[in-house]
Amino acid sequence: MTTDESKVVMVTGVSSGFGQAIAAELQARGHRVFGTSRRASATAPSGCSLVTLDVDDEASVEEARPRLRYPAANAQQRTLVALRPLLPQRLFEYLVMDNYRIR
């Protein structure tokens, strides 16, 4: 299946569990998926771009932002799938400024 670059999705926690399963399914449906993991050594599902990001670490959020913003720059649809009940305020603000829909 081809990837629709106009539909960008960021999924938190793609290295295991629900995050990994959701990222793989969205990728299979043709979305451009960017996944986050706290560990740089983590493995993301095939076709999913991995961004190292610890949402509890302000420096990590600042460092990851450009890598999350760039793929969404030309996307018509940007969606965040957050598998954590509460995101830190700074990350949430950045994603809203970058026009992600929060799911």
pLDDT by residue (tens digit) across 21-73?
A: 888 988 898 888 888 888 888 888 888 888 898 877 888 888 888 887 766 56
Non-local CB neighbours of 29 within 8 Å, separated by 6+ positions: 1
The token duo for 5 is 């670059």
Kindly report the pTM of this predicted structure.
Answer: 0.72
Going from N- to C-terminal start, the domains of the chain cover 4-102
The reply to whether CATH 3.40.50.1100 applies to domain 4-102 is no
Check: CB of residue 37 under 8 Å from CB of residue 13.
yes
pLDDT by residue (tens digit) across 63-101?
A: 888 887 766 566 676 676 766 655 666 666 666 656 666
What percent of the residues of the chain are helix, what percent strand, and what percent coil, each to the nearest 5?
35, 25, 40
